[in-house]
Amino acid sequence: MILLMGYQRCSTCQKAKRFLEMNNVQFKTRDIVAEKLTEEELRKLYEMSNVSLQSFWNTSGGVYRQMRIKDTIHSMSEEDQIKLLASNGMLVKRPILMVNDQVTVGFKEATYLDMIRQA
C-alpha cells in the first residue's frame, strides 16, 4: 500500500502528488490537517522512517513559530514531542510517504522513485 499524507494547500504536497500521478502510481491520500495523525500513528511512522524525530517538525510553519517550539523542543522528551505533533497537523512536516514498511518525510524525487520501485 502507498499512502501520501499531507495538506491539500501545501505546494510541496501538490508536487509530490503530481509526481506520483505522472509515474502512474496508485496511492491513497490523507489530509493530516483535517484528519490529524494520532500519537500511535506518529510513533509508528517515526519508527519506520529511520530519521530523527526532529525531521517530523514543520519548522518553517507559522504554528511552530507562534508556539515558539524551537525554544523548548530540546528539553522535551520524545513522548512529549509526539503528543504535541499529534495535537495539530500543521506542526507536522509534510508530505509523508509510506510505501509498505518504509516512510520518508518531505519530497525528494529520487527517494520517491526508489521507494515506489520497491513497492
> pTM above the 0.85 mark?
yes
18-51 confidence digits (pLDDT tens) = 999 999 999 999 999 999 999 999 999 999 999 9
- Residue 119 has a pLDDT of 84
Domain ranges of the chain: 2-117
Is the pLDDT confidence value at 87 over 90?
yes
- 19-28 — which CB contacts under 8 Å span 24+ positions? 19/107, 19/109, 19/112, 20/112, 20/116, 23/113, 23/116, 25/116, 25/119, 26/2, 27/2, 27/3, 28/1, 28/2, 28/3, 28/4
pLDDT at 114: 97
2-117: CATH topology is Glutaredoxin (3.40.30)
Alpha helices in 23-98 (DSSP H): 39-49, 62-66, 69-72, 78-87
**Integer Cα distance of 44 and 88 in angstroms:** 17
